Structure 1
Amino acid sequence: MTKLSVNINKIATLRNSRGGDLPNVVQFAKDVQRFGAEGVTIHPRPDERHIRYQDAYDLKPEVYTEYNIEGNPIDKFMAMVLEIKPTQVTLVPDSVDALTSNAGWDTVKHKGFLIEVIQEFKNNGIRTSIFVDPVLKQIEGAKETGTDRIELYTEAFADEYNLGNKKGILPYTECADLADSLGLGINAGHDLSLDNIQFFKENMPNLLEVSIGHALISESLYLGVENVIQMYLQKLK
């Protein structure tokens, strides 16, 4: 069964909009785990516009499933991850001014840098994943970095699926097959939703984990958090 990791960034965005501590991100993380989620994902950015670095520390003792911290491995981010030692760190090449993650790594161009960063994390017992586009040469490049897993950037699939083009899954299936043959674990995330998750899962061999935030939180406004998590878990079976 593919694990569901809930990205709670949007909860922090809502909290920050009023300057207080409602909703409380730690309590929300505890709740989604209680409702059945198998992981919690956060993506702190340098400007701390949603998840703050302090949140990452506060969540550490409360995440008893899988704790996944995403981000661009700048010095501050690396120091935080090495201190917290989450289950997994997902490296994302987002720029400081990016509204949301919008591209995967060029694993060929940045091979040397990624090797150095990944080795540092692995030396500290942290599983590593690289955010990549569904391009075969990038999967091959990822293998050369020493990463444990890749996370396929799924916005293109979601866009095509919304247009009724189910062939948009084909590059992802091909990349998953290649990654599996190379011994890489396969994660996925970005714009996955209740509408498309079952189709995606059914066409993705050996999919280990999906990280879902924006859609899941939005759907929960209408259907309730506990109910939505159960719906995702059912579709991921």
Structure 2
Amino acid sequence: MSFQTTYLRDFPEHIAIIMDGNGRWAKARHRPRVFGHQKGVETVRHVVEQAAEIGVRCLTLYSFSTENWSRPKAEIAALFNLLKKYVESDLESLHARDVRVRILGSRVGLKPDLLELIERVETTTQGNTKFSLNIAFNYGGRDEILRAAAKAAKAGEDFATMSDADFGRYLDTADLPEVDLVVRTSGECRISNFLLWQAAYAEFYFTDVLWPDFTIDDLSAAIEEFRARDRRFGNLSTPEVA
């Protein structure tokens, strides 16, 4: 399903956020890292609800990367439980608000109960069209491209003649718009293997705000910065709108 609507020419259609800083936020308060992740989930809830109110239609959140498996087992288990609790507790509300939820990433290594939950939330909300919430979980950009290439090869695609659009049909984000704006919190200035294909021409916005402290005002500031930029996509200037 494609999310199409009338947007301001310079308003980002698809925003992606690298939610960083939960651990540092907790450490500054002399609390365990899990406490920071719990607070981070509360921030997710507020940002998702308020982003729709200011006109955002497609939001992708980086929740757990393929590299995060190297973290302590207790922290990984806590992150998995937090995802389950968020989805289970908010599914009815998200569905009622016409939000489509999609979980991006590999399903390899996920336990049956989590796989069942992912299937349930995606099936329940697949017909919703007002807002698209995508949670990148057990996700890595390189892994996604490799998985997409394997699917394309299995489907008999000829890579010598495939277009970008043809290949995009095999990505986790198939039918979603390409990313316009990537926001990263906590002061780090790297992409961390996130949406490598989809963010090819995205604008990047980095903020020192730690994710648990991130508010809709911070997101609005990122959007205003985005709207002030001249996106040329390789051209000398932005084409005039007819």
Q: Do they superpose with TM above 0.5?
A: no
Instruction: Flag the structure with higher helix content.
Output: 1
Instruction: Give the TM-score, by structure 2 length.
Output: 0.38
Higher RCO, 1 or 2 (CA under 8 Å, sep at least 6)? 2
